[in-house]
Structure 1
Amino acid sequence: MEKLLLPLLLFFSILLSPAAYTPPDHFFINCGSDTNAIVSGNPNRTFIGDSVSSGSLSFSKEGSYVTTNNQTSEVLYQTARIFKQQSSYEFDIDAGGTYLVRLHFFNSTNVSTAVFDVSAARFSLLKNFTILRSSTNDSNSPLIDEFLVSITQGKFSIHFTPLGSSFAFINAIEVFLAPENFIPDTAPTSPSNNHGGILSHALQTIYRINVGGAKVTPENDTLWRTWIPDDGFLYNPKMAKNSTPFSGSLKYQGNVTDFIAPYPVYRTAKEMNIDSSRLSNTFNVTWCFNVSKNSRHFVRVHFCNIVGKTDGNIIFKLYLNGIYPRKINPYDMAGTLDTPFFLDFVLDSDESGAMNISIGPSEDSPEQKTAFLNGVEIMEIMGESSVIKPDKSKKTVFLVVGPVVGGLLVCTLAVGLFIVLKKRKRTPVETSVWSPLSVQGGGSSHSKGIDRTINFSPVPNLNLALRIPFAEIQFATNNFDEKLLIGKGGFGNVYRGNLKNGLKVAVKRGQPGSGQGLPEFQTEIMILSKIRHRHLVSLIGYCDERFEMILVYEFMEKGTLRDHLYNRNLPCLPWKQRLQICIGAARGLHYLHKGSTGGIIHRDIKPTNILLDENLIAKVADFGLSKLAPMDQTYVSTGIKGTFGYLDPEYFKTQQLTEKSDVYSFGVVLLEVLCARPAISRDPQLPREQVNLAEWGLLCHQKGLLDTIIDPSIKSQISPNSLRKFAETAEKCLQEDGADRPSMGDVLWDLEYALQLQQTAVHREPHEDSTTDANSGLQMIHVQRLPSLSLQVEKDDMPILGDSTTDESLLSTSEVFSQLRINDAR
């Protein structure tokens, strides 16, 4: 009965909709075909064969051909247009606005090896696209990538660019005008800030979720969208339940129409699973989504109060990434029951690549202490493409005058370059901010004129002495055998392996051909090929053949610090060992900050990036986000990157990165080591004030209650004086103002002191520390205090190298290496 009722209700909801918008009938293109394909929907769509299309559409016929696919019964996917060279579809747009652009791909044996880029309106829509890697659904189902693009009246082109000797393909294209004001140009990023200029970017749809309901297919959506169920995204499914589906008519009003979300989305919801047997029902319901790391996203959340019994009896809270509490009062926002409304936000993802959306009860709710959610949409805000499209209209002219103009241009550029270089020799370069590590220089000894074929990714001027052939890496990992997989992360998989010389290694492999993580890949090679320190990870080699991005490190027997804090199958680290690990990590960080020309800021300090060898010696790892700065600068202005929970609040507010940002992150690590609690807890039973470890730890320390949150397994091992000094050090690191935090040199000194207090009966008055008595008689083992640089010098330390390929001492220490053996590696 419900199956019969739903189409009728959907029909009446469309009739009652106040929208003046009518879904257009163009452009819908059946690529590679000379016949039309009718696709059912509400209304139906007719996809016009591109071979018989009208004058409002054209495409590059040169270098293109058609392939057929007999593996599907769907007419729309039985043909595809193949491009052997950069080609395009061009549309005549008669009305400017926000357009929905959908690209349809269907996997078949004819197209499975294609690798290509897609761009449009100055935006890179798809990068290094392959149907095999990109498709996560059934091989018998099409892959549809959707974008929202602002298009002005005139010509609009979608470009397909094959990579290397490969080709591009497309089965079908949709380009049609969205309803007016479908996407706003401004949306809030926090309670007090807005992000403007949204419409100046392209948006790529990442998730469209029907919360509490079944899959909604294009046939039942007013804009032919697909909404998938939410169950697979729930953090704790026991905390939520499906609401009773609504069967009446929705009260669409204002800017909320069935084109914003269709009837099937608003008639279902998830709500809190209130259980009278629980001691507390003050939990949150959380959905977790994997998104692109360090990217900006447009997020739309949909609500319709089909849960409340009367108007105004429910008030609840919405949390975005756990830090944006927004009070939701359905009565204020919609007025009555059964009335849809939505909210838009702009959120930045961090290095973890995770986005959480939560709902929970509010103390202000007059009656029902519950919360509900009907739908979620997440779209990535895309940057501009650097691809330059050829102007084919000038091709003939260029063939005639090209040699002459080309010769003049070369001469002009040569003279200009000579003048610029000569001027730069006379005038010192000045910079207003610290710059990221450049991949264009940095001491590589090989020629800058290397022939970069299609088998290599664009990684210029890296250290050739460290390059390892892909075949050798395949041998070391038994062709990336799944049995040797020891970790997964946003960058890719980590495998255990053995090189031909018998050296045990860990191989971190980026997604082949994806291009994601390329800056981090380059930065890590540039840094690790130039530094050597006992407490910093060192690189064995890398591979950039065949569109690969692979880093090779020596295998670390004991894994990560995080493993030993939370994995119950591993022996518990005693307090003294934890102190020594913190000291080792502090030495590595201090060397980064002060022991290298210009200094290096790590920017992603966390227990996952502190590795332990067979003797539990700590090494700082993962330098993909690091920044290099000249000595005479104090900060670098940069986009926010790092891991949520460890981010310096001052850096987050000002986007000005300093060495003290690493100090703050290290302070969070110190508390984590002491308490064995994560930086951000996902336990829905915890009170709100206990979710953030830094805030909770400081509050407990200020109230004299820090001992109540110490890891019970080590609580009896810690001497009171050692605990006092350690806690004071963590508190100083976590000061909100970076100027009030100590340097890593002072942090190291205080941790050494805490270790001495743990080991010996050395007595000091409580007011004495590294800032008041730097010349005390306390002797540090293997450490010399240097007032001029505040630098700890160890016998294993080596300076930053100008050219690692020509330094004999570097080559002789090739056995001192480490790796990333982590489950959430980048």
Structure 2
Amino acid sequence: MEHVHIPLLSLLVFLLNLSSLHFLSLADDYYINCGSHDNANLTTGQNFSGESKSGYSFSKSKAVKDINQLPDIAPLYKTARGFSKAFYYQFSITQNGTYLVRLHFLAFSSSSSSSSNNLSTAVFGVLDSKNFTLLNNFTAKNSTNYPVIKEFFVRIDITDSFRLYFIPQPSSFAFVNAIVLFLAPSDFIPENYISNLPLHTIYRLNVGGLPWNDPQGRNWETDDSHLSDPNSAKNANPESELNLNYLPEPVDGLFLSNYTFAPIQVYETAKHMSNSSSRPAISSNVTWFFSVSRKARHIVRAHFCDIIGQPGEIIFNLYSNGNFRKEISNISQYPAVPFYYDFMVNSSESELINITIKPKSESADAFLNGLEILEIVEGLAPIPTVRDSKKSIVAPVVGSVLGGLSLICVLIVGFVFGFRHRKAKKRVETSVWSPMPANGGGSSHGSALNLNYLGLKIAFNEIQSATNNFDTKLVIGKGGFGNVYRGTLLNGTKVAVKRAYKRHERGSGSGQGLPEFETEIIVLSKIRHRHLVSLIGYCNERSEMILVYEFMEKGTLRDHLYDSDVHRLSWKQRLEICTGAARGLHYLHTGAAGGIIHRDVKSTNILLDENHVAKVADFGLSRSGALDETHVSTNVKGTFGYLDPEYMMSEQLTEKSDVYSFGVVLLEVLSARPAIDPTLPREQMNLAEWGMLCQKRGVLEEIVDSPLKGQIDPNSLRKFGETVEKCLQDDACNRPTMEDVLWDLEYALQLQQTTKLKEAHEDSTNIDASSAAFSLPNVQRFPSLGSTRNGDDIREADLESTESEIFSQLKIGDAR
């Protein structure tokens, strides 16, 4: 027999290709029975593989088992993987897209010492690879033996090694019973939603029908418990079998559905008006109430299918929180056509969303078949350092010698890559500058810092007195850190008191704590500037974390851009506010001790005093001591929509990251729209991208806030647009410094003022309007009012001034 000699390299390539084909058949479709080698099936038809039979890996953790082994509990929920330290599951991804992530939790009693014998005591969070907080301070404890299932839609790219991190609270642990991850059909994602922000499914209702678990594992619940008035609606259940008419094209913003949007069982039932002679249809409605997270944005998908009338007969209006959303009518000449409508409910202080259907005419009807509510996940948190497991579970290739060799090749390549990756990661992590040690001794919170030397400590009793024992009537803001109260100190100084939530009070979006508390104290103790919010004191007694600031009478800049109850600012006022904020940031970057990067510049962190003087606030995420270096390596933190894309990609933080965020704020000021709005068309969703596109096309005036139309001098707008364009450059090296931004804004402001002076002193009948509008006056460059050579900043030697001279008023409407 002739011997065939195959070059070693070719053999390796062949084996690796064979292995990759094997993985491709398993990748992007994971159903994992955590903590067990056995397969497990659910009655809903989903099959979960044991951990030894799946193509993924996890870090150091422990398998735990239910010691009770109750017969009525599915085998899937009798095991879990848990640990007292952070651990992760890692998945290989072969296709870009939005993935459905479903996490199963059931708190059973365990014999494992790592679980303290009872999983119901576990308190932990879940992060994804992009730092998004999917769950925070989560506990699976409930009064039933039913599992808690959390579902998310997460954007994943093939360049990612996607991970889910399970991070226990101190002295606690984390666990998970089962994980589902697969590429979601595009139908699952709300129409026009292309943001990279994850979505968390909060509610999914089969309105008028029975609970249903569809083939994709989506659980559709009944709606009865959400009705505000059970007598206002009745179920529509046609007696004869329905033939649904699935049509291909959308009509007037109403999108036609198919069986993947919602199962046929959802469209075969509905709730509609329960009219009577004592309740005319025109004066009635059907309303559903839903408890949601405060300060979170939500996307709502309403499903319709007219199964109760003739085509075109029923016309009604859809509302949310009293706001008109859409006129609904059958969208074709055919009966029983399924369709849906997506819309976004913006964040508010309310913890309720109500959905209402109301007929347009007397004796008419209205109906709803299904409803889905998804929360937009915007919270970011640092990814912890996790000790990698020595064992990586890889899908076995069974049945051939070549398969075994290919597996060995993959393991070798994976080991080499993993080793190099871990070394690189270690280099980055060890260079991360951490200004505030968050553990150790020294205070009632375990802080290693001694803050007493700052002389800013205020007794808890005085703060209680200043806020009337934290009277809820004095609450002027709420955020992830806690409530903010209006108060008055014993010396008559008006203050804003930010009190951190206790652990049991924190919601799913609350992740701030001791590090941010200490950072803000240290940073604000070093700086004094007219355009930076001043810290009056703090309190860390009785397990409290309280910060006391000057009180800002006019609230946040965002309030004056979006709140219809607040007087809208003129263009001159907006320019003055932007200029003031730029001065504050310029001082942070150059005049403060060692240089400070704010890292969370946004419209809610720019506050206004009684004279609309702008002050930059909220320094809990700030980094200092970095500006004498090229950059600082750090986990990405900030607010989505304002984050510097270069910082997000490289994790290299510089002061130019603040410049980018400030550029987004400038666009926000000009347009009075949020940084991210998923309800807008694709090219307009991201304000930075849309603003840059309009600027390059020369049509920036198209996004100007309507009350400003006709107010803005064209030269002022042109200079403002050029400034925005500089700030939003992708390459940080091409962005200006805050000093340059400050000068450009001062120039835009003087151009605006010069035009007004001309209008006041010249006879308009003798002016050529076109030439006056576009002629640039000779404007000299002013010295930077934010530099350390002027009186805006207050040095340590200047602190002999009285408190009333140093501190004006503060309100924090969107506290951390």
Equivalent position amino acid for 2:780 in 1: L
Match of 2:656, SS?
helix
Give the match for residue 672 of structure 1: 668
Q: 1:436 aligns with which of 423, 434, 443?
A: 434
CA contact (8 A) 1:732 1:741 kept: yes
SS in 2 for 1:678: coil
Code of the aligned partner of 1:748: L
1:121 to 72, 75, 83: 83
Between the two proteins, what is the percent identity of the paired residues? 47
1:255-307: CA deviation from partner (whole Å, max 9, x where unpaired): xxxxxxxxx9994479999xxxxxxxxxxxxx9974999xxxxxxx9999999
Deviation (angstroms), 1:648? 1.3
Match for residue 116 of structure 2?
158
Counterparts of 2:695 and 2:808, CA distance in 1: 36
CA deviation profile, 1:236-256 (whole Å, cap 9, x unmatched):
xxxxxx9999999xxxxxxxx
The Cα of 1:385 is off from its aligned counterpart by 9.5
Structure-1 separation of matches of 2:549 and 2:238: 54
Q: How big is the shift at 1:531?
A: 0.9
Does structure 2 retain, via aligned residues, the 8 Å contact 1:467–1:542? yes
**Structure 2 partner of 1:194:** 160
Other-structure match for 1:68: none
Q: Residue type matched to 2:72 in 1?
A: N
Alignment partner, residue 657 of structure 1: 653
Query: What do the CA deviations read for 1:514-538 (whole angstroms, capped 9, x no partner)?
Result: 5841121121111111111111111
When residues 707 and 214 of structure 1 are mapped into structure 2, their CA distance, relative to the original with a 3 A threshold, is: same
The CA deviation at 1:590 is: 0.7
Matched, 1:731 2:725: yes
Q: Using the TM superposition, name which of 151-160 and 548-557 deviates more.
A: 151-160
Q: Which residue identity does 1:793 align to in structure 2?
A: R
Instruction: Identify which of 594, 604, 607 aligns with 2:603.
Output: 607
CA gap 1:244/1:469 in 2 versus in 1, 3 angstroms: farther
Pick one of 531, 541, 544 that aligns with 1:535.
531
User: Is 1:558 aligned to residue 554 of structure 2?
Assistant: yes
Q: Which of the residues 13, 21, 27 maps onto 2:66?
A: 27
**Deviation by residue 1:320-379 (Cα, 9 ceiling, x = unmatched):** xxxxxxxxxxxxxxxxxxxxxxxxxxxxxx9x9x9x9xxxxxxxxxxxxxx998798999
Q: For 1:724 and 1:169, locate their aligned partners in 2 and report how far apart those are by CA, in whole Å.
A: 55
Q: Which residue of 1 aligns with 2:708?
A: 714
Q: 1:632 to 1:149 in 2, by over 3 A?
A: farther
Q: 1:154 to 1:623 in 2, by over 3 A?
A: closer
Distance across 1 between alignment mates of 2:302 and 2:617? 44
> 2:590 aligned to 582, 591, 594, which one?
594
Deviation of 1:743 after TM superposition, in Å, equals: 0.8
C-alpha contact (below 8 Å) 1:541/1:553 kept by paired residues? yes
| TM-score normalised by structure 1 residue count | 0.53
Q: How does 1:498-647 map to 2 (within 5 A)?
A: 498-513=488-503, 516-518=511-513, 519-647=515-643
CA positional deviation for 1:173: 10
1:793 matched to which residue of 2? 789
Contact 2:656-2:737 at 8 Å conserved across structures: yes
Shift in alpha-carbon separation, 1:782–1:743, aligned structure 2, 3 A: closer
The one-letter amino acid paired with 2:562 is: Y
Distance 1:663 1:266, change over 3 A: farther
The residue that corresponds to 1:757 in the other structure is: 751
State the SS of the aligned residue for 1:494.
Answer: strand
Aligned to 2:326: none
Shift, 1:196, TM fit: 3.3
SS of alignment partner, residue 707 of structure 2: coil
**Equivalent pair of 1:188/1:194 in contact (CA under 8 Å):** no
**Partners in 1 of 2:703 and 2:140 — Cα distance?**
58
Supply the AA of the counterpart residue of 1:695. Answer: E
Deviation sequence 1:483-515 (CA, Å, 0-9, x none): 111112222211111112111111111112458
Aligned to 1:690: 684
Structure 2: gaps spanning 5 or more residues: 1-40, 51-63, 88-102, 124-138, 168-174, 180-199, 228-234, 242-261, 272-289, 308-346, 354-368, 387-427, 759-770
**SS state of the match for residue 571, structure 1?**
coil
- The structure-2 alpha-carbon separation of the partners of 1:228 and 1:820, relative to structure 1 and needing over 3 Å to count, comes to farther
The residue type paired with residue 737 of structure 2 is: S
Change (3 A) 1:632 1:150: farther
What residue is the counterpart of 1:112 in the other structure? none
1:53 corresponds in structure 2 to none
Distance (whole Å) between structure 2 residues aligned to residue 169 and residue 648 of structure 1: 36
CA distance in 2 between counterparts of 1:575 and 1:227 reads: 49
Partner Cα separation in structure 1 for residue 524 and residue 67 of structure 2: 51
Report the secondary structure of 2:476's partner residue.
strand
The amino acid across from 1:44 in the alignment is D
Match of 2:9 in 1: none
1:461 aligns with 2:450: yes
Q: Which residue of 2 aligns with 1:497?
A: 487
Match of 2:803, SS state, is: coil
Displacement of 1:777 in angstroms is 7.6
Superposition RMSD in Å: 6.3
Work out whether residues 271 and 373 of structure 1, in 8 Å CA contact, stay in contact via their aligned partners in 2: no
How far apart are the structure 2 equivalents of 1:217 and 1:571?
Answer: 48
User: What is the rounded CA distance, in whole Å, between the counterparts of 2:674 and 2:375 in structure 1?
Assistant: 29
Say which SS state the counterpart of residue 479 (structure 1) adopts.
Answer: coil
Q: Which residue of 2 aligns with 1:780?
A: 782
Inter-partner Cα distance in structure 1 for 2:209 and 2:545: 37
- When residues 381 and 693 of structure 1 are mapped into structure 2, their CA distance, relative to the original with a 3 A threshold, is closer
Could you list the runs of 5+ residues in structure 1 that have no partner in the other structure? Answer: 1-12, 31-37, 47-94, 102-118, 126-144, 235-241, 249-263, 274-286, 294-300, 309-349, 357-370, 388-429, 442-447, 770-775, 785-790, 800-806
Cα deviation for residue 436 of structure 1 reads 3.4
Letter in 1 for 2:116: I
Q: Is the 8 A contact 2:553 2:810 kept in 1?
A: no
Task: Map 1:250-649 to 2 at 5 A.
Answer: 267-268=265-266, 290=293, 433=431, 435-439=433-437, 452=443, 458=447, 460-463=449-452, 465-513=455-503, 516-518=511-513, 519-649=515-645
| Kept after mapping to 2: 8 A contact 1:266/1:374 | no
Which of 677, 681, 695 is the matching residue for 1:701?
695
1:46-61 mapped onto 2 (5 Å cutoff): none
Partner in structure 1 of residue 799 of structure 2: 810
Give the match's secondary structure for 1:569: coil
CA distance in 1, matches of 2:570, 2:115: 63
Please report the TM-score for the alignment, with normalisation by the length of structure 2.
0.54
1:4-83 aligned at under 5 Å gives the runs: 17=45, 19=47, 27=66, 44=72
Amino acid at match of 1:734: L
| Structure 1 residues 539 and 458: alpha-carbon distance in aligned structure 2, compared to 1, 3 A threshold | same
Return closer, same or farther for 1:498/1:768 CA change in 2, 3 Å cut-off: same
Residues 119-268 of structure 1 mapped to structure 2, 5 A cutoff: 121-123=83-85, 147=105, 157-158=115-116, 189-198=155-164, 202-203=175-176, 209-213=203-207, 267-268=265-266
Shift of 1:98: 8.6
**2:572 is paired with a residue of what secondary structure?**
helix
CA deviation after TM superposition for structure 1 residue 654, in Å? 2.1
Rounded to whole Å, the distance in 2 between the matches of 1:431 and 1:376 is 34
Aligned residue in 2 for 1:76: none
Q: 1:810/1:757 Cα in 2 relative to 1: closer, same or farther (>3 Å)?
A: same
Cα deviation for residue 169 of structure 1 reads 15
Shift of the 162–227 alpha-carbon distance from structure 1 to 2, 3 Å rule, reads closer
Secondary structure class of the residue paired with 1:812? coil
Output the CA distance in 1 between the equivalents of 2:662 and 2:270. Answer: 37
TM-aligned CA distance change 1:634 to 1:517, over 3 Å: same
